Amino acid sequence: MRYKELNPDFPYEIKPYSFATADVDFHVALNESLEAGGSRMPDIYCIGSGHVMEYIHGDMAMYATPYRDLGIDVESLAKEADIPRYVIDMGSNADGQVVALSYQGTGSAFIYRRSIAKTVWGTDDPEIIRDKIGPGWDRFLEAAADLKVRGYVMVSGYDDLWFPMAASAENPWIVDGKLHIDSYREAFLDLAKQFHDRGYTNNTTTWLTEWYDGMKDTGPKKVFGYFGPSWMVNYVITNNCGGKQPGEGTYGDWAVCEPPAGFFWGGFWVFVNKNSEHKEVLGDLIRWITLDSSEAGLQYSWASGTFDGNGRVRDAVTSGTVMGNVPGEIDF
């Protein structure tokens, strides 16, 4: 464990539990262990963005320890680290206390093919491509028309549009106890139908084989781009591009620019169990993971590619300060 390497006086063993290959629902198992207490309960638990609300505002909120009770000066450290507002808001309980923060930056971009951009618009400059595809979905639709003329499709399938549109909604699904359809989510239906009817996609479904084919140019038509955060680049497109180095498959032919509408996708929020017997030492560990913007912090090593030692993967992190102090280019 990196933290123990940097802090040899840390008096406890850090024992992670993995549910990746277990035939069990993670949240069911976690909830049971939190409720059972004793040796089964975790001191720290990480929750994906899609389930965070249950652990901050729902039935499991009673187990979350406010960071300030761990001796963490969240306000000053968050300002120093330049933590995005969405990370803090997601991690704050009804009393405005931060009980969880994320370390993985999941603000998202449009990830596009440089060669296709040059063919269609004569440039692959991210600042120019940004203005070709947005801001707003009307420009994105116009760009899709330009691409079709040259024989390309804008996205692999129309459901590629769903997450950025749904995630940029201004209101939640439930308002005052009733189902609420935000205008951004409703607009998806119209835009998706236009993309389908005008042939701006390969008509694939996200996460199925045909969707990945567009990343390595084996689909019906070449796909211009995909939406997503850094994990979409590092762990999805890179592993499905048909190559391992520039010149192989589509490796090296990608760039990112701002999407038509801002959104974030995924990430894990880190909690400390209020019943932990070790809270007196966990504060510094949590600070190191979520708020330390120095070169000794977790986020700097992850963003600079030194955490795993090979330097090939540079993930975005939540600290804007860290992101401004590390190089962002990769061969891919």
Domain holding 210: CATH number? 3.40.190.10
Domain boundary residue, one of 239, 257, 275: 257
Examine residue 330 and state whether it is found in any structural domain, yes or no: no
Confidence of residue 260 (pLDDT cuts 50, 70, 90): very high
Do 186 and 234 reside in the same domain of the chain?
A: yes
Q: Are 133 and 179 in contact (CB under 8 A)?
A: no
pLDDT at residue number 2: 82
- Calculate mean pLDDT across residues 78-93: 96
Q: Are residues 25 and 74 in the same domain?
A: yes
What pTM was estimated for this model as a whole?
0.91
In Å, how far are 81, 285, 300 from 321, measured between CA atoms?
A: 5, 19, 9
pLDDT at 309 over 70: no
Q: How many other C-beta atoms lie within 10 A of the C-beta of residue 219?
A: 19
Q: Are residues 77 and 152 in the same domain?
A: no
Residue 41 lies in a domain: yes
- Binning pLDDT at 50, 70 and 90, where does residue 40 land? confident
Report the largest interatomic distance among the alpha carbons of the chain, rounded to a whole angstrom: 64
Segment 238-266 shows an average pLDDT of 95
Same-domain pairing of 40 and 94: yes
Higher-confidence position of 65 and 25: 65
Single residue among 257, 278, 311 that ends a domain in this structure: 257
291 shares a domain with 194: no
Estimate the crossing angle of helix 137-149 against helix 126-133, to 10 degrees. 100
Q: What is the mean pLDDT of residues 28-48?
A: 91
- Which range of 34-38, 54-58, 309-313 scores highest in mean pLDDT? It is 54-58
Crossing angle (nearest 10°) for helices 183-197 and 137-149: 10
**Does residue 291 fall inside a structural domain?**
yes
- For residue 65, the 8-state DSSP code is P
Task: Note whether 132 and 233 are same-domain residues.
Answer: yes
Per-residue model confidence as pLDDT tens digits over 97-135:
999 999 999 999 999 999 999 999 999 999 999 999 999
The two beta strands, 268-272 and 44-48, are antiparallel
For residue 76, what pLDDT band results from cuts at 50, 70 and 90?
very high
38 Cα distance to chain centroid: 33
Give the up-direction half-sphere exposure of residue 122: CA atoms within 13 A in the CB hemisphere.
Answer: 0
Residue 130's CB is within 10 A of a number of other CB atoms, namely 19
Residue 75 lies in a domain: yes
pLDDT > 70: percent of the chain: 97
- How far CA 81 is from CA of 48, 106, 281, 289, in Å, comes to 22, 16, 21, 12
The share of the chain scoring above pLDDT 90, in percent, equals 79
User: Residue holding tokens 């093919």?
Assistant: 113
Average pLDDT over residues 203-219: 97
Joined tokens for residue 203: 């008509």
Asked whether residue 241 falls in the same domain as residue 141, the answer is yes
Residue 82: pLDDT band with limits 50, 70, 90? very high
Question: Last residue of some domain: 257, 292, 307?
Answer: 257
20 has pLDDT over 70: no
Distance CA(216)–CA(214), nearest Å, equals: 5
In a domain, 151, yes or no: yes
At 328 the pLDDT is: 80
User: What domain count does the chain have?
Assistant: 2
The pair phi, psi for residue 303, each rounded to 5°, is -75, -30
Which amino acid is present at 216?
Answer: K
Residues 94 and 201 in one domain: no
Two tokens, residue 250: 């589509």
- State which residues form the domain around 69: 2-105+266-323
CA separation for the pair 163, 106 (Å, rounded): 13
